[in-house]
Structure 1
Amino acid sequence: MSLPQLSPHTLHVVIDMQRLFAEDTAWHTPLIKTILPNVIKLCEVSRHRSLFAKFIVPPRAEDAGGRWRNYYNRWSTMTGDVLEPGMLDLMEPLGDLAGKNDVVEKETYSVFGSSGFLERLAVDKIDTVVFSGVETDVCVYASVLDAIDAGLRVILATDAIGSADEAAHQAVMMHLAPRLSEQLEVATTQTIVDAWMRGD
């Protein structure tokens, strides 16, 4: 199935492709290494139109606000005072692909929680967002919903997203995404690449 060509104002947003999720931690997401080649492929076709979102944890659970404190009390091994240095870094080779202005940090599930993110989209006249990364049912889906609310064209790269919970991943792909068919497009990496190249 083909995809209508992409606008020149398309942005590829890579969600949480970090060592934090790739390595042996409580948040390990095994599929992250499987989807990495497709994420790289999207980065290569989008050249300087990829943005990398990094999930940032607080130094200690007590430093988190509101109910996030409960969350980090549960995930007590995932705060900055416990994690090994560098665990918040992007996986390689994504770190090499990202320029210093191509990385945003977020303390929320959605990339739209990153300071100035929505304003950045407006300045760059972004009208289409392609999402890749982890996890399908958490940070990726939260970002998708905010992008839809912002009125953007939203495309989910089906083979460039993944979750530690396969049932939750399938629930998004089989049940939740189809409910938003007027506002959310799903396509394989190659289909997106083809549409992007037609747009250029």
Structure 2
Amino acid sequence: MHIVIDMQRVFAEETVWHTPSIRDILPNVLDLCEAFKGRTLFAKFMLPETSAHAPGRWQTYYERWSMLTTSQLDPAYQDLVAPLAALSQPETEVEKFTYSIFKAPGFNERLKADGIDQLIFSGVETDVCVLASVFGAVDAGFHVVVASDAVGSSEPVAHQAVLDHVLPRMPDQIDLATTAQIIARQV
């Protein structure tokens, strides 16, 4: 299963969370979606209406990022970027309110019920939501493949550190491969 993390307008467009690398990785994400047609899910980072609608320390987080609550930002910014929105269906979208897709209710159970044992990750941000989701997948026992040229971040140094230093520490659980390598071996 291919998991696309947070390829949404809120990160692609001119917001305080703008992640310029989206435009660079989008062709590779699209190639993976094509290669794994019918086996791709799209994670969406959902925003609360106000900081008061968020639980625990997420309230403090959204007090700082109040301009990104849906009371101040058009909720359409939560939509997938146009090329991916055209590929998605409601049943292929997984809404999450935290960094990891594995915190979305029923997500792990859905994968297990479908007999999935390997996950391929693409999307943003390498050092936040992708990393949290990768760790969630490892913790749940999945074999993980990170498409190194289909992940990106607004912090290039942190992105590279994750690819060069963090993920290689777990070679028994996580593989790094380029989009072309993944497609060639149809992992």
Corresponding pairs, count: 187
- Aligned residue for 2:84? 94
- Aligned residue for 1:125? 115
- Report matched runs for 1:159-170 at 5 Å: 159-170=149-160
The answer to whether 1:48 aligns with 2:46 is: no
Shift of 1:79: 0.5
The answer to whether 1:17 aligns with 2:7 is: yes
- Aligned residue for 2:52? 62
Shift of 1:99: 1.6
Amino acid at match of 2:5: I
Q: Over residues 89-128 of structure 1, what are the superposed CA-to-partner deviations in whole Å (9 max), with x where a residue is unaligned? A: 0001100101221001000100001111011001100000
Shift of 1:29: 0.2
- Report matched runs for 1:106-145 at 5 Å: 106-145=96-135
Identity, % of aligned positions: 53
- Aligned residue for 1:4? none
Shift of 1:84: 2.1
- Aligned residue for 2:62? 72
Which secondary structure state, in structure 2, belongs to the residue aligned with residue 155 of structure 1?
A: strand
Q: Distance in 1 between matches of 2:75 and 2:48?
A: 14
Which secondary structure state, in structure 1, belongs to the residue aligned with residue 171 of structure 2?
A: coil
Q: Distance in 2 between matches of 1:41 and 1:103?
A: 18
Compute the RMSD of aligned alpha carbons. Answer: 0.8
Q: Distance in 2 between matches of 1:164 and 1:50?
A: 24
Q: Distance in 1 between matches of 2:174 and 2:75?
A: 37
Q: Distance in 2 between matches of 1:152 and 1:189?
A: 19
Superposition TM-score, scaled by structure 2 size: 0.98
Q: Distance in 2 between matches of 1:140 and 1:69?
A: 22
Amino acid at match of 1:99: Q
The answer to whether 1:192 aligns with 2:173 is: no
The answer to whether 1:182 aligns with 2:172 is: yes
Superposition TM-score, scaled by structure 1 size: 0.92
Q: Over residues 157-189 of structure 1, what are the superposed CA-to-partner deviations in whole Å (9 max), with x where a residue is unaligned? A: 000000000111011011101111121100000
Q: Distance in 2 between matches of 1:130 and 1:14?
A: 8
Give unmatched runs, 5+ long, in structure 2. none
Shift of 1:85: 3.9
Amino acid at match of 2:93: V
Which secondary structure state, in structure 2, belongs to the residue aligned with residue 57 of structure 1?
A: coil
Larger relative CO (CA 8 A, sep 6+): 1 or 2? 1
- Aligned residue for 1:30? 20
Amino acid at match of 2:153: S
Q: Distance in 2 between matches of 1:135 and 1:14?
A: 11
Give unmatched runs, 5+ long, in structure 1. 1-10
Shifted more, 136-145 versus 171-180: the winner is: 171-180
